[in-house]
Amino acid sequence: MSYWKTGRIIQKGKYVIEKVLGAGGAGITYRAKDVEIGNVVAIKTLNATIQAQKNFAKHQERFIQEAFRLAKCTHAHVIRVDDVCQEGNLWCMVMEYIDGGNLETLVKRQGGFAEVEAIRYIYQVGSALTYIHKQGILHRDVKPANIMRRRENNEAVLIDFGLARDFIEDKTQIHTNSRTEGFAPLEQYSRNAKRGAYTDVYALAATLYYIVTLQIPFPAQFRNQGVNLISPQQHNSTISDRTNLAILKGMELHPENRPQSIDEWLNILTENIEIILSSSIPVVSSENSSSPTIPSSSTTSSPIKNTPATNLPIMAVPLLPTPRKVRKVKNTKNNLQTINDYDPLSPSRFENNPVNVFREKENTSIPELDSIVTEIMAQKTVIKPEKEVLASEVGIDYSHLEELLSNQEWYKADEQTHKLMLKASNKEDSGWIDRHTMRIFPCQDLQTIDQLWVKYSKGKFGFSIQKRIYQSLGGKRDYDKKVWETVGDRLGWRINGTWLFQDVLMYTVKAPVGHLPSVAMSGLLEKGIYTLMSRIMDCNIN
């Protein structure tokens, strides 16, 4: 099959598909009407790309595990699963419908959350993580896009347990190394590593980093190569010392240096939690397109104090789940049974019950999904859809650049990048881009070029990677000869004080992080790195 169209009736008339809510690297989620009770629900299945793969049965098994993990969780800040069922040979997860948007979308619309609002959401998600950790489950993909906000009460809800795995604290286990760049800790880059609650601590701290700065933290594997994490206060000077310290402590590179539990980390973060939880957070309509800025410390009365790091009081923070009734789960071969009596992780679950690929004779094109551009790539997520939307504000075709990068033809891709940037700025005749033209270079085109380089280099090359290194070394919008030379040394553009020519750069994956593309040092741009970085910052390319 491909996907379910609007009006599709499933489960013998119980649900009617209304629209596609979103699609990711493995799943697709629909909004549907529960005809029996009249409620709107969300239904998640594996997407058409995964269904067409030879190892679909394995993906289906993991999907079922995710469904039953979620169904066992009864917590106010964990997405509620109401039903797990089969439609043909395709398993479905029927969940509560949350009409409010995710934190990534909301924070971009608002231009950043006020600190007190951000901590309120983080505390709520922290309580959810503490609850699932007690069930022996790691989420492994905490990030703003996986946190929804209920419209009716502005409470945060943790979603998407697709990467969740069982764990035993501090025991070396084999997990997949799927992750979201910028939010995943160092241990998540290895299949065979010790993991614990501190793994989700890192991601939760990184999430707070993003929603108070609108900047994705520098990925852990690059930090492990010597690139420093930029302090949140460097991006947003209104952040309190206490919150700044808590973020940095939660994002310690090595797990033994982090708080070992969510509770421990929240104790560092939340001094006045009662005030924060009782604070009134205004509802922001999804139709509201205004973008207020982060409130400054001079105009906002905040309960969060700039507490010195040496005087951090420790408080006990109770994290109790909200009781809920036990949900029922439908199985096509059995009668209704309670979730608590069922172990979805048991190998016997799939014995004598093979899951086969199910394909219907439907059009495999997905025109309704063309407008659904997931923001996975913007966060450097390793699991991605196979086909990217190569958007351009000026009608540039980036398909050839994608082909060169997918074949790892780095030199040709670098040259093609130069040509396309000249074309996008209407400077093909002059052969270079002056700083005034670069100031109005189309942001969407910079984003597309960056996402292609990041994707096919697996996070090693791209403008956003260069930007993070540049900023980590103190780079700003103004020219600084010392910073420029330091950046050149770090990116491998300068050796022993001598700048290299473009044709002798390292066009290989063994090149230093951020080595390509060479736009900033090739003479293509007036004032090189400063012209490029200023525009990258203006366009908020992360």
Contacts of 61 (CB under 8 A, 6+ apart): 350, 355
Residue 162: per-residue pLDDT: 72
Angstrom distance (rounded) from CA 492 to CA 510: 11
CB atoms within 10 A of CB 152: 9
Domain ranges of the chain: 1-97, 103-311, 391-538
Average pLDDT over every residue of 302-309: 43
**Tell me: the pLDDT tens digits for 451-496?**
999 999 989 999 999 999 988 888 887 778 888 889 888 998 888 7
Please write down the long-range contacts of 129-133, taking CB distance under 8 Å and 24 or more positions apart.
129/158, 129/197, 129/200, 129/204, 129/262, 130/197, 130/261, 130/262, 130/263, 130/319, 131/73, 131/75, 131/78, 131/319, 131/321, 132/73, 132/75, 132/78, 132/164, 133/197, 133/200, 133/261, 133/262
Q: Which of 456, 408, 337 is nearest to 85 (CA)?
A: 337
User: Is the peptide bond preceding residue 517 cis, with omega within 30 degrees of 0?
Assistant: yes
Q: Does residue 380 contact residue 189 with C-beta atoms inside 8 Å?
A: no
Same fold: 1-97 with 103-311: no
Angstrom distance (rounded) from CA 422 to CA 399: 16
Angstrom distance (rounded) from CA 127 to CA 148: 15
Angstrom distance (rounded) from CA 173 to CA 191: 8
Average pLDDT over every residue of 111-129: 94
The tokens describing 307, both together, are: 């507490």
The SS3 of residue 168 is coil
Angstrom distance (rounded) from CA 378 to CA 463: 12
Give φ, ψ of 293 to 5 degrees.
-90, 170
The tokens describing 506, both together, are: 């390292």
pLDDT above 60 (res 189) = yes
Residue 160: per-residue pLDDT: 84
Stretch (H or E) spanning 454? helix 443-456
Q: Would strands 137-138 and 90-96 be described as parallel, antiparallel, or unpaired?
A: unpaired
Residue 295: per-residue pLDDT: 36
Angstrom distance (rounded) from CA 475 to CA 534: 10
Contacts of 169 (CB under 8 A, 6+ apart): 196, 197
**Tell me: the pLDDT tens digits for 53-62?**
888 888 888 8
Stretch (H or E) spanning 96? strand 90-96
pLDDT above 50 (res 402) = yes
Residue 433: per-residue pLDDT: 83
> ∠ CA(110), CA(220), CA(130), 5° rounding?
70
**Tell me: the pLDDT tens digits for 489-509?**
899 888 877 777 776 788 888
Q: Does residue 529 contact residue 463 with C-beta atoms inside 8 Å?
A: no
**How does residue 290 score in pLDDT terms, banded at 50, 70 and 90?**
very low
Residue 222: per-residue pLDDT: 82
- Topology of domain 391-538, CATH: Arc Repressor Mutant, subunit A (1.10.10)
Q: Does residue 215 contact residue 261 with C-beta atoms inside 8 Å?
A: no
**Worst-scoring range by mean pLDDT, 193-207, 290-304, 423-437?**
290-304
**Tell me: the pLDDT tens digits for 318-328?**
333 333 434 44
- Enumerate the H helices of 214-305 as residue ranges: 220-223, 232-235, 241-250, 262-269, 273-278
What distance, in Å, lies between the first and last C-alpha atoms of the chain?
35
Q: Does residue 306 contact residue 240 with C-beta atoms inside 8 Å?
A: yes
- Enumerate the H helices of 299-409 as residue ranges: 399-406
Contacts of 262 (CB under 8 A, 6+ apart): 126, 129, 130, 133, 197, 200, 201, 204, 319
Angstrom distance (rounded) from CA 197 to CA 259: 9
Stretch (H or E) spanning 110? helix 103-110
Give φ, ψ of 21 to 5 degrees.
-90, -35
Higher pLDDT, 526 or 450: 450
Q: Would strands 171-174 and 192-195 be described as parallel, antiparallel, or unpaired?
A: antiparallel
Residue 369: per-residue pLDDT: 34
Q: Would strands 81-87 and 27-34 be described as parallel, antiparallel, or unpaired?
A: unpaired
Average pLDDT over every residue of 127-151: 91
Residue 102: per-residue pLDDT: 92
CB-count exposure of residue 422 (10 Å: 0-12, 13-18, 19+): middle
The amino acid sitting at 217 is: P
Give φ, ψ of 381 to 5 degrees.
-75, 140
pLDDT above 50 (res 200) = yes
Residue 352: per-residue pLDDT: 38
CATH homologous superfamily of 1-97: Phosphorylase Kinase; domain 1 (3.30.200.20)
Mean pLDDT, all residues of the chain: 76
What's the Cα-to-Cα distance from 486 to each of 471, 492, 496, 497, 499, rounded to whole Å? Answer: 11, 10, 11, 10, 12
CATH architecture of the region 103-311: Orthogonal Bundle (1.10)
